[in-house]
Amino acid sequence: DTEVTQTPKHLVMGMTNKKSLKCEQHMGHRAMYWYKQKAKKPPELMFVYSYEKLSINESVPSRFSPECPNSSLLNLHLHALQPEDSALYLCASSQEARQGSRNSPLHFGNGTRLTVT
């Protein structure tokens, strides 16, 4: 079992649907991440939230909309997706690193397998 919980585990949606992915952690981490992973590829960073504020957006299309309601929760709102958006979406968290200090590792959830039809 991981300490980062993602729901749902599987999601099938049409290109006109609106859906949301949810992520929760209770490790007291202040940085939360969304990654996208295609088959046999490494995870690709999408968004980073630091202290509940968006700090990194890796030029992700606007059909993906992140939200961080509080320090334990992270959502990814999906709208008008394309079939090529089908992938494993991973949420991760880490302790926020202060400048000059060593960084802590990412802790991942088990992901949401998204299929866009």
Chain residues that interact with another protein, rule: CB under 8 A: 2, 4, 6, 31, 33, 40-45, 48, 50, 55-56, 88, 90, 92, 94, 97, 99, 102-111, 113
The Cα 57–Cα 45 span in angstroms is 8
For residue 1, the SS3 value is coil
Under DSSP, the state recorded for 52 is: T
Amino acid residing at 33? Y
Residue 1 or 84 having the CB closest to another protein: 1
Q: Least separation, in Å, of the C-beta of 56 and another protein?
A: 6
Q: How far is the CB of 99 from another protein (least distance, A)?
A: 5
Task: Report, in Å, the least distance between residue 1 CB and another protein.
Answer: 11
Contacts of 67 (CB under 8 A, 6+ apart): 74, 75, 76, 77
